[in-house]
Amino acid sequence: MARKSLVRDNSYYDTLIQYYLNGIDLPAQPQALILPASNGESVGLGVEALPATASICSCHNVTKQSIADAVAAGAMSVGDVKSATKAATGCGGCAALLKKVVDNELTALGIEVSTDICEHFPHTRQDLYTIVKVEGIRTYSELLHKHGKGHGCEICKPAVGSILASVWNDYVLAKEHIGLQDTNDRFLANMQKDGTYSVVPRIPGGEITPDKLIVIGQVAKDYNLYTKITGGQRIDLFGATLPQLPEIWKRLIDAGFETGQAYGKSVRTVKSCVGSTWCRFGVNDSVGMAIKIENRYKGLRSPHKLKFAVSGCTRECAEAQSKDIGVIATEGGWNLYVCGNGGMKPRHADLFATDLDDETLLKYIDRVLMFYVKTADRLQRTSVWMDSLEGGLEYLKEVVISDSLAICEELEEQMDHVVGTFQCEWKTTVNDEKALKTFRQFVNHDGQDENVVFVEERNQIRPATDEEKVTLIAKAG
């Protein structure tokens, strides 16, 4: 295979690199590997086509053969294979690929691969979503009691917590839900490697007043936090301890900020370019639309994180075509792109509909998002969901635009419910004495975690390395 560069759309890279590295024979029509598929379906490389020597986990250099050997030796699940080979225990980026390889090996041995979410529920995530909604189930314990067994685990608890939030949108730290929340959701902040947290206030559309910028700066200064601009046009404040989180949020809320939900599998940001208000080339107000979209969908919890963008013209400065929902202004309204993402395997979004007015644009986004929430697998991003959707883009268009399943009304109603029941979780938390108690560092002691040590780098704090800690603690002693 000749070396060529992929320009703009590099979503085929994963497939091509496996062909190249493994010397696999090209298919009869090799152009199908890089040209848009005529029937709207993507041409992927099934894991069965990979040779035994293909490296699946590059952190621990685990090949497909090692995984096959582990399965042949009795490993019956991804967990077993992880223990046996260490695959996916480094950065974890290959977890989805590992699961495909394990499932493929199990199937090859004639073992039925379970689609159950875990040992506690004989159901898929999609089944559980339907059960929760149709039977009006409001808590994990009710669902477990009626449809599961045992006492739950770290797979089904957050998955059900997410489903309950998508359907009912209750406060996630309420007594009956708090034990379901994974690392970041549990304390409404992003845990870092040293056990401290980062804080991200919402900055809709990336638009912020100087006064609000000053508040963020002042809070960061007062608590000596490391500050960094994020890829989603907001500001991340690192190095907050557990007890500092509510104090920091009280100040941010007083200044008019809301939670950015950077910790949730939920709507994160709507990135925008400056649009027609200032830009010589802009054809529509991308900032205004981005703020409208962000304020509509903030608070929506979903199978995985969601990132949106709005560009004011076809120059696409907001990079909307790399987002789950991308909107680009045209002379005739808005073009809507869906199911793009960055991450380990970038995927360009698909053009879904063109020249939409504001109302239709929001209607289609409501429907696409809720259909994703309803039918996606646990921790499946929209890009992978689209690739696994039978019928692909054309099918999604039929469901959302032509209402082929007659569910659009239901999808819209459900989105209206989520929008109508929005609450800033941090605002609720700082006013809830019981919730605040869970932010104590220790239940019986006022001290701090002595293992949290910072050093200075480029005029800001950063966590000390293990070696630095030894030196610093020796000096202090």
Partner 1 sequence: MNWNLICIKDDLVEDAGVAAMVNGEQVAIFFLPEAEDKVFAVSNWDPIGKANVMSRGLTAHLQDQWVVASPLYKQHYNLSTGQCLEDEVFLKVWSAKMVDNEVYIAV
Q: Which residues bind partner 1 (CB under 8 A)?
A: 82-83, 89, 119-120, 150-155, 157-158, 175, 178-179, 181-183, 186-187, 191, 193-195, 437-438, 440-445, 447, 449, 451, 466
* Shortest Cβ 154–partner 1 spacing (Å): 4
Specify the residue, 152 or 282, whose C-beta has the smaller distance to partner 1. Answer: 152
* Shortest Cβ 195–partner 1 spacing (Å): 4
Amino acid at 428: T
Cα dihedral sign for 357, 359, 362, 368? negative
* Shortest Cβ 300–partner 1 spacing (Å): 23
Q: How many CB atoms lie within 10 A of CB 308?
A: 25
Sheet of strand 333-338: strand arrangement: 267-272, 306-311, 325-330, 333-338, 350-356
Specify the residue, 30 or 150, whose C-beta has the smaller distance to partner 1. Answer: 150
* Shortest Cβ 150–partner 1 spacing (Å): 5
User: 242 with 197: CB under 8 angstroms?
Assistant: yes
Round to whole Å and give the CA distance between 455 and 472: 9
Specify the residue, 3 or 445, whose C-beta has the smaller distance to partner 1. Answer: 445
Specify the residue, 118 or 283, whose C-beta has the smaller distance to partner 1. Answer: 118
Provide the residue count of the chain: 477
Give the ranges where 6-108 is alpha helix by DSSP (H): 13-22, 64-72, 78-85, 95-108
349-353-355 Cα angle (round to 5): 120
Specify the residue, 97 or 386, whose C-beta has the smaller distance to partner 1. Answer: 97
Specify the residue, 150 or 391, whose C-beta has the smaller distance to partner 1. Answer: 150
Round to whole Å and give the CA distance between 102 and 64: 9
- Interhelix angle 408-420/358-375, nearest 10 degrees: 90
Specify the residue, 151 or 280, whose C-beta has the smaller distance to partner 1. Answer: 151
Q: Which residue is listed with tokens 């399943």?
A: 405
* Shortest Cβ 438–partner 1 spacing (Å): 6
255-259-261 Cα angle (round to 5): 160
Round to whole Å and give the CA distance between 344 and 14: 10
Phi, psi of 238 (to 5 degrees): -105, 155
430-433-434 Cα angle (round to 5): 115
Specify the residue, 16 or 84, whose C-beta has the smaller distance to partner 1. Answer: 84
What is the DSSP code (8-state) at residue 29? S
Round to whole Å and give the CA distance between 260 and 307: 12
Specify the residue, 17 or 76, whose C-beta has the smaller distance to partner 1. Answer: 76
Q: How far is CA 58 from CA 86, 87, 92, 96, 254, in A?
A: 11, 8, 10, 14, 47
* Shortest Cβ 428–partner 1 spacing (Å): 17
User: 347 with 11: CB under 8 angstroms?
Assistant: yes
* Shortest Cβ 244–partner 1 spacing (Å): 15
* Shortest Cβ 262–partner 1 spacing (Å): 16
* Shortest Cβ 151–partner 1 spacing (Å): 4
* Shortest Cβ 62–partner 1 spacing (Å): 14
How does DSSP assign 384-418, residue by residue?
HHHHHSTTHHHHHHHHHTS-TTS-HHHHHHHHHHH
Round to whole Å and give the CA distance between 175 and 112: 38
Q: How many CB atoms lie within 10 A of CB 312?
A: 29
Specify the residue, 152 or 206, whose C-beta has the smaller distance to partner 1. Answer: 152
User: 416 with 169: CB under 8 angstroms?
Assistant: no
Specify the residue, 240 or 325, whose C-beta has the smaller distance to partner 1. Answer: 240
Specify the residue, 157 or 374, whose C-beta has the smaller distance to partner 1. Answer: 157
* Shortest Cβ 242–partner 1 spacing (Å): 8
* Shortest Cβ 465–partner 1 spacing (Å): 10
